[in-house]
């Protein structure tokens, strides 16, 4: 073992070949959120303080409903990818797989509930 070169010690410990793909997915969702969050704030702002009927009428229009649904969907997808990186960095073994699976279910479940609520308001 003492005569192994650094290269020979590193063989088999290489990259998982998915880091670049995950990095670009995070960058794409970040750029999407950079556009969607201000749109969401400016479309959600006029609805604040309204009665239930006013909110129903406001979200019956397609633009605010689509912006809200896209913000929820992309936001929770970005959250899921970020939590996955966090778990991969700090948790190892069986708990890593369990927590990644659990957080994926929680984030997509929350996104589904949010989109369902927007659809219920819009339709």
Structure tokens at 15: 């990259």
pLDDT of residue 8: 74
CA–CA distances in Å: residue 91 to residues 41, 78, 98, 99: 35, 20, 10, 9
**Euclidean distance between the first and the last CA atom of the chain, given in angstroms as a whole number:** 68
Give the Cα separation of 86 and 71 in Å (integer). 22
pLDDT digits (tens, 9 = 90+) for 51-94: 999 999 999 999 999 999 999 999 999 999 999 999 999 999 99
Question: Global pTM?
Answer: 0.83
pLDDT digits (tens, 9 = 90+) for 14-25: 666 677 888 999
Phi/psi of residue 3, each to 5°?
-95, 5
Return all residues near 58 (Cβ < 8 A) that are at least 6 apart: 46, 47, 50, 64
Give the Cα separation of 66 and 36 in Å (integer). 10
pLDDT of residue 41: 96
């Amino acid at each position: 073992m003492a005569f192994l070169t650094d290269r020979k010690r590193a063989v088999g410990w290489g990259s998982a070949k998915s880091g670049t793909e995950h990095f670009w997915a995070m960058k794409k969702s970040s750029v999407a959120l950079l556009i969607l969050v201000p749109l969401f704030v400016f479309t959600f702002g006029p609805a604040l303080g309204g009665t239930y009927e006013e909110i129903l009428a406001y979200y019956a229009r397609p633009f605010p409903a689509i912006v809200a649904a896209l913000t929820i969907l992309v936001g929770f997808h970005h959250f899921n990818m970020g939590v996955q990186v966090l778990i991969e960095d700090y948790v190892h073994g069986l708990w890593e797989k369990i927590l990644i699976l659990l957080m994926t279910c929680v984030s997509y479940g929350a996104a589904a509930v949010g989109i369902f609520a927007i659809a219920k308001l819009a339709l």
